[in-house]
Protein backbone atom coordinates (compact mmCIF):
# COMPACT_ATOMS: atom_id res chain seq x y z
CA UNK A 1 0.00 0.00 0.00
CA UNK A 2 1.29 3.41 -0.81
CA UNK A 3 -1.14 5.66 1.00
CA UNK A 4 -2.47 5.95 4.53
CA UNK A 5 -5.71 4.00 5.06
CA UNK A 6 -7.12 6.91 7.08
CA UNK A 7 -7.17 9.05 3.92
CA UNK A 8 -9.86 6.72 2.50
CA UNK A 9 -7.82 6.27 -0.69
CA UNK A 10 -5.04 3.88 -1.61
CA UNK A 11 -2.86 3.50 -4.63
CA UNK A 12 -2.33 0.05 -6.07
CA UNK A 13 -0.42 -1.30 -9.01
CA UNK A 14 -2.64 -2.94 -11.60
CA UNK A 15 -1.26 -4.18 -14.89
CA UNK A 16 1.87 -2.07 -14.40
CA UNK A 17 -0.11 1.13 -13.74
CA UNK A 18 -0.62 2.95 -10.44
CA UNK A 19 -4.35 3.35 -9.83
CA UNK A 20 -6.04 5.29 -7.05
CA UNK A 21 -8.79 3.31 -5.33
CA UNK A 22 -11.49 4.25 -2.83
CA UNK A 23 -11.39 2.40 0.50
CA UNK A 24 -14.82 1.02 1.33
CA UNK A 25 -14.03 -0.57 4.69
CA UNK A 26 -11.29 -2.02 6.87
CA UNK A 27 -11.59 -4.61 9.60
CA UNK A 28 -9.60 -6.93 11.81
CA UNK A 29 -10.47 -10.60 12.19
CA UNK A 30 -9.89 -12.35 15.49
CA UNK A 31 -10.44 -15.65 13.67
CA UNK A 32 -7.48 -15.17 11.30
CA UNK A 33 -5.48 -12.57 13.29
CA UNK A 34 -5.24 -10.44 10.14
CA UNK A 35 -6.34 -6.99 9.03
CA UNK A 36 -8.32 -6.61 5.82
CA UNK A 37 -9.23 -3.80 3.47
CA UNK A 38 -12.13 -3.59 1.01
CA UNK A 39 -11.63 -1.20 -1.87
CA UNK A 40 -12.76 -0.38 -5.39
CA UNK A 41 -11.11 1.05 -8.48
CA UNK A 42 -14.63 2.13 -9.52
CA UNK A 43 -14.57 -0.13 -12.57
CA UNK A 44 -17.79 -1.87 -13.52
CA UNK A 45 -18.08 -5.66 -13.79
CA UNK A 46 -19.91 -7.45 -16.58
CA UNK A 47 -22.97 -7.72 -14.30
CA UNK A 48 -23.17 -3.90 -14.14
CA UNK A 49 -21.98 -3.66 -10.56
CA UNK A 50 -18.90 -1.93 -9.20
CA UNK A 51 -15.86 -4.19 -8.70
CA UNK A 52 -14.93 -4.62 -5.03
CA UNK A 53 -11.63 -6.14 -3.94
CA UNK A 54 -10.53 -7.41 -0.53
CA UNK A 55 -6.94 -7.91 0.55
CA UNK A 56 -5.09 -8.44 3.78
CA UNK A 57 -2.57 -5.85 4.92
CA UNK A 58 -0.36 -4.90 7.84
CA UNK A 59 -1.81 -1.73 9.41
CA UNK A 60 1.56 -0.97 11.01
CA UNK A 61 3.50 -1.07 7.72
CA UNK A 62 1.61 0.99 5.15
CA UNK A 63 4.45 0.74 2.64
CA UNK A 64 3.90 -2.98 2.08
CA UNK A 65 1.91 -4.50 -0.76
CA UNK A 66 -1.60 -5.78 -0.27
CA UNK A 67 -1.81 -9.55 0.06
CA UNK A 68 -4.20 -11.59 -2.09
CA UNK A 69 -6.73 -13.76 -0.30
CA UNK A 70 -6.46 -17.42 -1.35
CA UNK A 71 -7.66 -19.37 1.71
CA UNK A 72 -11.13 -20.90 1.17
CA UNK A 73 -12.17 -20.07 4.74
CA UNK A 74 -11.23 -16.41 4.29
CA UNK A 75 -12.96 -16.26 0.89
CA UNK A 76 -16.16 -17.62 2.44
CA UNK A 77 -15.93 -15.04 5.24
CA UNK A 78 -15.62 -12.28 2.64
CA UNK A 79 -18.61 -13.46 0.66
CA UNK A 80 -20.67 -13.02 3.84
CA UNK A 81 -19.16 -9.58 4.49
CA UNK A 82 -19.80 -8.43 0.92
CA UNK A 83 -23.43 -9.62 1.14
CA UNK A 84 -23.90 -7.51 4.28
CA UNK A 85 -22.15 -4.55 2.65
CA UNK A 86 -24.43 -4.90 -0.40
CA UNK A 87 -27.55 -5.13 1.77
CA UNK A 88 -26.55 -1.99 3.68
CA UNK A 89 -25.88 -0.13 0.44
CA UNK A 90 -29.28 -1.15 -0.93
CA UNK A 91 -31.00 -0.03 2.28
CA UNK A 92 -29.40 3.40 1.96
CA UNK A 93 -30.98 3.91 -1.47
pLDDT in tens, 42-76: 999 999 988 989 999 988 887 778 899 989 988 88
Share of the chain above pLDDT 70, in %: 89
In our burial notation (b when 16+ CB lie closer than 10 A, e otherwise), range 4-20 reads ebeeeebebeeeeeeee
Structure pTM? 0.76
Distance CA 21, CA 8 (A): 9
- Between the CA of residue 31 and those of 35, 73, 77, what are the distances in Å? 11, 10, 10
For residue 1, what pLDDT band results from cuts at 50, 70 and 90? very low
Amino acid sequence: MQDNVNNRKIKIEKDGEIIECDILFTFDSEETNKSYIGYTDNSIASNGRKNIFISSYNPFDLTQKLENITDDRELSMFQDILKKFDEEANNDN
